[in-house]
Amino acid sequence: MTSAAASCSDFVQFFRLWAANPLQVAAVAPSGDALARVMTQEIGPETGPVLELGPGTGVFTRALLERGVAESDLTLVEYGSDFARMLEFRFPQARVLWMDASQLARFDLYGDMPVGAVVSGLPLLSMSPRKVVAILSGAFTYMRPGGAFYQFTYGPRCPVPRPILDRLGLKATRTGRALRNIPPAAVYKITRRQPLGAGRRRFEALPA
Ligand SMILES: C[S@@+](CC[C@H](N)C(=O)[O-])C[C@H]1O[C@@H](n2cnc3c(N)ncnc32)[C@H](O)[C@@H]1O
């Protein structure tokens, strides 16, 4: 299949899954290459293990591989069963987990805190504050010192409200925009406010 035919087929598949579950998929089409570049621009082979949340058809996954991240360093957490099956087929060396990202802290996915970056395509704006807290606190459970959580949004500000950032001891900075995405999007980098050791070592796991 040519790459144009493949992206057309991804578009059709994505649209079909959005029509079946608009709140969960939350976009009518996969993100474009421009947004994938901004989302992954600070990540490379030196980042080590990368956790991707809500990969969909794998646009950001492909960009991570192009940036030199080893496929075996990828853990892909996807709630949509059709997307999860597609990801397993496309990225056979990655670990694909068919699960709700708000349950991350309930499992021992790594055993330690080796994750250098989290790349999230999750529709945080359509989730409850409790769920957003569970996702962030779960993700940062696995994040090593200096690691960052990258999140895109179509909205005018960071999709994680300030009170949640404050509660979790996190800060957000905008790292770029992808104006050639449909719709245009901005990317936020969320990091710990203080290095580990200066405060609490691990976030508490909160119920979903
Ligand atoms: C807006 S789409 C983004 C897909 C892809 N990252 C992209 O940019 O094209 C949101 C994705 O998050 C997934 N998703 C939504 N809620 C989720 C959850 N609680 N846990 C894991 N994945 C979830 C959806 O199934 C979908 O694949």
pLDDT per residue as tens digits for the range 164-183: 999 999 999 999 999 888 89
Rounded to the nearest angstrom, the distance between the alpha carbon of 31 and the centre of ligand 1 is: 11
17: in domain = no
pLDDT at 187 over 80: yes
pLDDT at 28 over 70: yes
11: in domain = no
Q: Looking at ligand 1, which residue's alpha carbon is closest to its atom 11? A: 54
191: in domain = yes
Rounded to the nearest angstrom, the distance between the alpha carbon of 197 and the centre of ligand 1 is: 32
25: in domain = no
62: in domain = yes
3: in domain = no
With a pLDDT cut of 90, the percent of the chain lying above it is 73
Q: What is the pTM of this model?
A: 0.91
Closest CA relative to residue 159, chosen from 26, 14, 58, 43: 26
Question: What domain range is 131 assigned to?
Answer: 31-195
151: in domain = yes
Residue type at 98 in one-letter notation: W
Tell me, rounded to whole angstroms, the distance of Cα 38 from its chain centroid: 13
185: in domain = yes
119 within ligand 1 shell (Cβ under 6 A):
no
pLDDT per residue as tens digits for the range 35-81: 999 999 999 999 999 999 999 999 999 999 999 999 999 999 999 99
Neighbouring CB atoms inside 10 A of 70's CB total 14
Provide the CATH number for the domain around residue 58. Answer: 3.40.50.150
What's the pLDDT score for residue 136?
98
Counted residue by residue, the chain has a size of: 208
Rounded to the nearest angstrom, the distance between the alpha carbon of 169 and the centre of ligand 1 is: 25
Rounded CA separation 135/46 (Å): 25
Considering its fold, how many domains does the chain have in total? Answer: 1
pLDDT at 201 over 60: no
Neighbouring CB atoms inside 10 A of 52's CB total 30
